[in-house]
């Protein structure tokens, strides 16, 4: 059964950057399951998986525009330390949820300088070309409930 819209796909993957460093992997875990065509994974990888079948392996190179986007300098901001009320020890790498005009945004502290904290609202992989090694484990029909909810239920997927 080929991977196409509204099919549930389970796959193992290893994700590397262009330097060959492993950024993420499903090794030692259950395969990742998603509902194809519902935007559950990055567009470039979903596009590469279309038409594949259980047992297929592939290497997919995903440019930033089809992954986590380009780095947006406007999402890097300096804010006063007192904006972090109740947080005693702010360190680079810490993440906070900021309220923005567009809704909540996860930001990462990148620098501390005196009473100024630099935060970055870009996804950590923004601007990165992503290199996936993928092994398709299974492809099945989605249940009516999965289609209604727009994501996978059960093993490797979302539990209600």
Q: Which of 3, 20, 16, 129 is nearest to 56 (CA)?
A: 3
Q: What is the pLDDT of residue 100?
A: 84
The residue assigned the tokens 């930001």 is: 107
Residue 156: pLDDT over 70: no
Confidence of residue 155 (pLDDT cuts 50, 70, 90): low
Can you read off the two tokens belonging to residue 67? 């992954």
Set out the domains of the chain in order of their start, with CATH numbers.
Answer: 7-68+126-149 (3.10.50.40), 73-120 (2.40.10.330)
Q: Are 158 and 151 in contact (CB under 8 A)?
A: yes
Give tens-digit pLDDT for 20-60: 999 999 999 999 999 999 999 999 999 999 999 999 999 99
Residue 157: pLDDT over 80: no
Predicted structure pTM score: 0.82
Q: What is the pLDDT of residue 70?
A: 97
């Amino acid at each position: 059964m080929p991977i196409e819209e509204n099919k549930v796909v389970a796959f193992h993957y290893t994700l590397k950057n262009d330097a060959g460093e492993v950024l993420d992997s499903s090794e030692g875990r259950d395969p990742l399951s998603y509902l194809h065509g519902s935007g559950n994974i990055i567009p470039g990888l979903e596009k590469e998986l279309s038409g594949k079948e259980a047992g297929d392996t592939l290497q997919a190179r995903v440019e930033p525009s089809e992954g986590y986007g380009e780095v947006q300098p406007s999402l890097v901001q300096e804010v006063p330390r007192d904006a972090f009320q109740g947080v005693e020890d702010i360190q680079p790498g810490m993440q906070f949820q900021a309220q923005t005009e567009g809704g909540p945004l996860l930001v990462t502290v990148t620098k501390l300088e005196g009473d100024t904290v630099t935060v970055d609202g870009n996804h950590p992989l923004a601007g990165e070309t992503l290199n996936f090694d993928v092994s398709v484990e299974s492809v099945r029909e989605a249940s009516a409930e999965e289609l209604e909810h727009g994501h996978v239920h059960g093993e490797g997927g979302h539990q209600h």
